[in-house]
């Protein structure tokens, strides 16, 4: 791609290319931009909090709204890569690129990838602190999915500590909890709310409920809104994407 760019620039300078040829070459240029895209990392050292579910859905929502999105699977388990593969096997169209990058070099690679995207979404791993640290050095916004129980909020303390450490170097790093798997028709319990109130970051108002369509769609390489357009799950993800965009403004 760089080669095409260099050739086009040389042709334009020398005036040797016809306007048509230049136009064709321009269309092939990668859309590099001066302002890099935003990097959003879904992180929680606790396993099963909903990082992959929310990362694939948030990336999908942003992509369907017309943004250029890349998802980096920073989990050695490769769940987001599996999701993308299942999608291809099932003949579903490609919504956004998913690349495996479970390396401590994430903080060097992600900003480069962000030069050609509007959003880079990182699906973080459970447990591996070195990868989480690397993701934190690249991220503009960290979302910490938690289930609505005091225990799950407390279990995210390691992540909270890592974010506090990262903020020493990157004071502009933003962070928020995202309540995931709230039981439909209930409000989150007093204990969980108290545990959240004690945290240094707020929880987004946009909460994601426990819904079978999330589990089914991820297993099938789809998004909830593709399985059931305009369903409540799709509305929740749209609200989450809206909240994320507002935080990044
Ligand atoms: N809102 C939801 N409703 C129903 N099921 C959910 C929801 N969120 C997550 N799940 C299910 O919970 C399980 C764990 O979710 P997910 O894989 O997204 O978590 P994770 O944080 O990425 O896990 P890991 O730490 O292992 O990477 C999956 O089976 C997923 O389908
Ligand atoms: Mg995961």
Strand-by-strand arrangement of the 97-100 sheet: 97-100, 69-73, 119-123, 38-42, 141-146, 174-182, 208-209
What does the pLDDT read at residue 21?
41
The token pair that represents 155 in the structure block? 């279990």
Q: Rounded to whole angstroms, what are the CA distances from 65 to 59, 101, 242? A: 10, 25, 11
Ligand 1 closest atom vs CA 209: 1
What angle do the packed helices 79-89 and 51-64 form, to 10 degrees? 50
What does the pLDDT read at residue 84?
97
Q: DSSP labels for 231-244?
A: -HHHHHHHHHHHHH
What does the pLDDT read at residue 33?
66
* pLDDT profile of the chain (249 residues), mean per 10: 36 42 44 82 96 98 97 97 95 95 95 97 94 96 97 96 95 97 90 94 96 92 93 97 97
Ligand 1 closest atom vs CA 215: 31
Neighbouring CB atoms inside 10 A of 183's CB total: 12
C-alpha atoms less than 13 angstroms from C-alpha of 247 in its C-beta half-sphere: 27
What does the pLDDT read at residue 236?
97
Nearest-ligand number for the alpha carbon of 216:
1
Instruction: Confirm if 99 and 73 have CB atoms less than 8 A apart.
Output: yes
Q: Which residue out of 43, 50, 54 has the highest number of ligand 1 atoms within 8 Å of its CB and is therefore the one to mutate?
A: 50
The residue whose C-alpha atom lies closest to atom 9 belonging to ligand 1 is 50
The residue whose C-alpha atom lies closest to atom 30 belonging to ligand 1 is 215
Residues lining ligand 1, Cβ inside 6 A: 47-53, 75, 77, 79, 126, 180-181, 208, 210-211, 214-215, 218
What does the pLDDT read at residue 8?
37
């Amino acid at each position: 791609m760089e080669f095409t760019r260099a050739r086009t620039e040389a042709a334009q300078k020398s005036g040797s290319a016809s306007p048509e040829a230049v136009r064709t070459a321009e269309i092939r240029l990668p859309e590099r931009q001066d302002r890099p895209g935003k990097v959003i990392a879904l992180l929680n050292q606790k396993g099963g909090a909903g990082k992959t579910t929310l990362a694939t859905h948030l990336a999908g929502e942003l992509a369907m709204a017309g943004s250029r999105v890349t998802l980096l699977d920073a989990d050695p388990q490769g769940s987001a890569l599996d999701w993308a593969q299942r999608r291809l096997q099932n003949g579903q169209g490609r919504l956004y690129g998913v690349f495996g990058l479970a390396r401590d070099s994430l903080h060097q690679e992600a900003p480069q990838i962000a030069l050609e995207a509007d959003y880079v979404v990182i699906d973080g791993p459970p447990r591996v602190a070195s990868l989480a640290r690397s993701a934190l050095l690249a991220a503009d916004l960290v979302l910490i999915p938690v289930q609505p129980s005091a225990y799950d909020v407390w279990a995210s303390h390691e992540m909270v500590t890592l974010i506090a450490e990262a903020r020493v170097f990157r004071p502009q790093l933003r962070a928020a909890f995202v309540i995931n798997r709230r039981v439909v028709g209930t409000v989150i319990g007093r204990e969980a709310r108290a545990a959240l109130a004690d945290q240094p970051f707020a929880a987004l108002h946009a909460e994601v409920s426990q819904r079978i369509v999330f589990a089914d769609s991820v297993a099938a390489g789809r998004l909830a809104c593709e399985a059931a357009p305009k369903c409540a799950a799709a509305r929740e993800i749209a609200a989450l994407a809206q909240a994320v965009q507002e935080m990044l403004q």
